């Protein structure tokens, strides 16, 4: 079994760093995407709880969700797109 080095594009790395993620070349894109998805799910659940707790107005909730989706724009790409974009190179 051969190892694969992944070449994450600069815009991916910049965005991932804003979330505290810094994948190494050996880190598979699927693993990174899963970690990013976990962070998004945590934030969306926290937002929903803030809505239920009255800390976020219902009228503002949609805008807050849209802002989160923009913050996590990398999740709009499928796992296979991540692998294609990061072009694995067998070593």
Q: What is the pLDDT of residues 9-27, one digit of tens each?
A: 999 999 999 999 999 999 9
Residue 5 lies in a domain: no
- pTM comes to 0.89
Residue 3 lies in a domain: no
Structural domains of the chain, count = 1
Residue 40 lies in a domain: yes
Residue 62 lies in a domain: yes
Residue 1 lies in a domain: no
Structural domain including 40 reads 28-83
Residue 74 lies in a domain: yes
CB 64 within 8 Å of CB 82: no
Residue 58 lies in a domain: yes
Residue closest to 34 by CA, chosen among 91, 83, 85: 83
Q: What is the pLDDT of residues 61-76, one digit of tens each?
A: 999 999 999 999 999 9
């Amino acid at each position: 079994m051969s190892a694969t080095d992944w070449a994450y594009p600069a815009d991916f790395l910049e965005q991932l760093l804003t979330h505290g993620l810094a994948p190494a070349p050996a880190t598979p894109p699927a693993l990174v995407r899963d970690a990013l998805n976990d962070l998004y799910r945590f934030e969306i659940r926290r937002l929903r709880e803030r809505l239920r707790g009255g800390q976020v107005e219902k009228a503002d909730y949609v805008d807050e969700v849209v802002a989160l989706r923009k913050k996590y724009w990398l999740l709009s790409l499928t796992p296979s797109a991540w692998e294609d974009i990061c072009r694995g190179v067998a070593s």
